[in-house]
Homo-oligomer: A and B are copies of this chain.
Amino acid sequence: MKFELQAVCPDTGARAGLLHTDHGVIETPIFMPVGTAGSVKAVMQDQLLNDIKAEIILGNTYHLYLRPGTDIIEAAGGLHKFNGWDKPILTDSGGYQVFSLSGNRKLKEEGAMFQSHIDGSRHLFSPERVMDIQRSIGADIIMAFDECTPYPCDYEYARKSMEMTHRWLDRCVQRMGETEPKYGYNQSLFPIVQGSTYRDLRKISAEYIASKGADGNAIGGLSVGEPEQDMYEMAELVCGILPKDKPRYLMGVGTPWNIIENIGLGVDMFDCVMPTRNGRNGMLFTSQGVVNIKNKKWEKDFSPIDAGIENRFSNFYTRAYLRHLFQAKEILALQLASLQNLSFYLHLVKEARQHILAGTFASWKRTALDIVKTRL
């Protein structure tokens, strides 16, 4: 894996680059649609490729490990073969889900003991185990096993947790060194900076993570309920420490304005369930602003869902029809809203990238922030 820095904004920290993987090149900054259980919810693979123009998607280790399980994924020849997505895949480590979804979880130095949210069965996720699972899934980018601290989090807990995350990282690095990819293409490990909202911890963590010389680095533990200003402050601090010549991935972020701001701070990669999850609840992100499509005001609005987006759907279907589909609880509502929101997120990062390459990011950012925050 190789990261090629193409342009840096003269006024902000924004960067444009190319991330070369064995499953193709990713143009950064990039947003990665979340495909938790091997499917980006309500979206077909051909739509992901041709309409949304996704360049990389996420899978989730916790979900995929429990269902369908690594034996089935291995029998298929890895997740790319299993779900028919032939471009890059990143898997998160499952640590977050162990704490948010599973029952009876218990954290020890060894790892995290937990019970499946599906059938109550008991499992241990250790750094080694999680590396092995991600090897089996066949992700192009493997995330280190970490503890994502909640917000708020007291200083002592945050410090101890960060230190354990660092020790876990060393075990992840060692395991990755001892094992080989299973499907003939390279898999890169991204370590994760933690430290909650404490500047000194974030600095220690970022320096530790930077020292590992990984192919890319991630910022975790943000977008967990802290004020947006804290998120930006931490991202800025950490981006200032992480290597310039490697991609920076801010995990689980966020709203369109969060993404624009963080691109300006030097973040290259994003993922979030917001476009799909909020879409399924009727919240549309468009190139004109935010639309609550369930609102009665759209019932006779026969204008396109989003005239500013180039795909086969956003211009074809009307807001009135989409509102009707939500009212009637039609599955197509979930499909169209997911397509719209993901298309918009990819459109947004592409636009940011073009302005970084053109040297006009800073002025674009001001205008774009106003637009994406507008409530229509």
Contacts and interface: CB of A to CB of B under 8 A. Distances in A.
Interface of A: 37-39, 41-46, 63, 67-68, 72, 75-76, 81-84, 299-300, 302, 312-313, 316-318, 320-321, 324-325, 327-328, 330-332, 334-335
A302 B73 CA distance: 11
Given A302-B75, A328-B67, A321 B82 contact: yes
Contacts of A37: 324, 328, 330
Given A37-B330, A67-B324, A327-B67, A335 B302 contact: no
A204 B83 CA distance: 56
Nearest to A327: B67
B299 A68 contact: yes
A25 to B, nearest CB: 23
A43 B300 contact: no
A335 B72 contact: no
A84 B81 CA distance: 34
Given A316-B84, A332-B44, A335-B331, A324 B75 contact: no
A302 B82 CA distance: 8
A148 to B, nearest CB: 23
B75 A45 contact: no
Max chain B Cβ within 10 angstroms of own Cβ: one of A82, A320, A321: A321
Contact of A334 (B43, B82, B331): B331
Given A37-B324, A38-B325, 9 more contacts: A37-B330, A39-B328, A39-B330, A44-B313, A44-B335, A75-B302, A76-B320, A82-B318, A84-B321
A53 to B, nearest CB: 17
A90 B76 CA distance: 43
A300 B76 CA distance: 7
Contact of A39 (B38, B45, B313, B332): B332
A337 to B, nearest CB: 11
Contacts of A46: 312-313, 316
A41 B331 contact: yes
B324 A68 contact: yes
Contact of A41 (B45, B72, B83, B332): B332
Contacts of A81: 302
* 8 closest residue pairs by CB, A with B: A42-B331, A37-B328, A68-B324, A39-B332, A39-B330, A75-B300, A67-B328, A41-B331
Contacts of A324: 37-38, 67-68, 72, 82
A202 B335 CA distance: 44
A192 to B, nearest CB: 26
Nearest to A74: B300
A141 to B, nearest CB: 22
A232 B43 CA distance: 41
Max chain B Cβ within 10 angstroms of own Cβ: one of A299, A302, A328: A328
Max chain B Cβ within 10 angstroms of own Cβ: one of A42, A312, A330, A331: A331
Contacts of A38: 321, 324-325, 328
A42 B335 contact: yes
Max chain B Cβ within 10 angstroms of own Cβ: one of A38, A75, A299, A324: A324
A224 B69 CA distance: 42
